[in-house]
Amino acid sequence: MPKVTKKTLNCRGRLVDLTQPAVMGILNATPDSFFAGSRVTPNKTATTVAVEVAQQMLDDGATFLDIGGYSTRPGAAAVSPTEEADRVLPIIEAILANFPDALISIDTFRASVARQAVKSGASIVNDVAGGTLDPAMFETVAMLGVPYILMHMRGTPQTMQSLATYHNVVTEIIDELAIRLAELRSLGAKDIILDPGFGFAKTPTQNFELLDKLDAFQLFDEPILVGLSRKTTIWKTLNIRADEALNGTTVLNTAALLKGASILRVHDVREAVEAVKLTQQLKFFRA
């Protein structure tokens, strides 16, 4: 089984061991995220629902909870930084009020939202744009001193699908991430997680090639996050709906784990945790 050189993350003074891959549960404070099962609308009632969902995810074995207030599905409508913050901050605060040890990831490409979320207790910044949509993001995460998920994307959520042209999808993504990673390191950012960005400016065929060659990203010696949960690549390939894509998600998550993924970002935590436990058993035969 592939190995990752860097095996810990410092989340606000708490060391998270990634020797065994971790699972990140998705909670979207948006009305239009592509999978309805992940959505919680930010009002008093929905904040209560978010706490209940968070409890279930934590009970099912989630190490992280990823909270987002800006839908990044292809063609999603833009929202202002103020509205995005208003969506996510009450949920972060409510979850931490009930589960003080929960490790919250803020899913945003805006430095101002990241800053407010960390102030409210978030432990990780998950940037789908990899610093390309807010020039202040890299300096901000370096200053905040929290782990940063550097994802590959081209363009914006509104334009990315028109930019999925590559001569070699794997090497070009590696080259683009390497430039951004070097900039982050030059600013003093410590804990960086790499996300190849499945579905973001990539076609389904490119996503499968990227998954097949996922172990190539281990050259960076950084943890790799994979987010394939219920995405178009699965349900269009199988000619089903997103709400029918759990089995396909588990299959591709298993492939990602065997290729060296350290974190699975998912809608369905229990099934992902089971995939981790089962694939981990294989390491005893690959030593």
Give the confidence band of 24 by pLDDT, cuts at 50, 70, 90: very high
Least confident stretch, 74-78, 201-205, 260-264, 265-269: 74-78
Question: Does 187 score more than 70 pLDDT?
Answer: yes
Q: Read off the tokens for 256.
A: 């990602």
Question: Does 121 score more than 50 pLDDT?
Answer: yes
For the chain, the structural domain boundaries read: 17-281
Least confident stretch, 69-73, 116-120, 142-146: 69-73
Fold of 17-281: TIM Barrel (3.20.20)
- pLDDT score for 283: 73
Task: Calculate the alpha carbon distances from 283 to 7, 20, 109, 157, 216 in Å.
Answer: 16, 10, 36, 38, 19
Active site residue 259: no
Active site residue 14: no
Residues 6 or more apart whose CB falls under 8 angstroms from that of 281 comprise none
The DSSP letter of residue 33 is -
The single residue of 154, 180, 231, 259 carrying the catalytic annotation is 231
Question: Does 41 score more than 60 pLDDT?
Answer: no
Closest CA to 236 of 260, 214, 207, 264: 207
Give the confidence band of 36 by pLDDT, cuts at 50, 70, 90: very low
Give the confidence band of 178 by pLDDT, cuts at 50, 70, 90: very high
How much is the mean pLDDT over the chain? 90
- pLDDT score for 29: 85
- pLDDT score for 33: 47
Torsion sign (Cα): 110, 116, 122, 124? positive
pLDDT in tens, 61-107: 999 999 999 887 766 677 899 999 999 999 999 999 999 999 999 99
The single residue of 7, 265, 277, 283 carrying the catalytic annotation is 265
- pLDDT score for 55: 96
Helix H or strand E segment including 141: helix 137-144
Mean pLDDT value of segment 139-167: 89
CA dist 214 and 36 (Å) reads: 28
Helices 204-212, 246-258: crossing angle, 10 deg rounding: 40
Mean pLDDT value of segment 37-50: 64
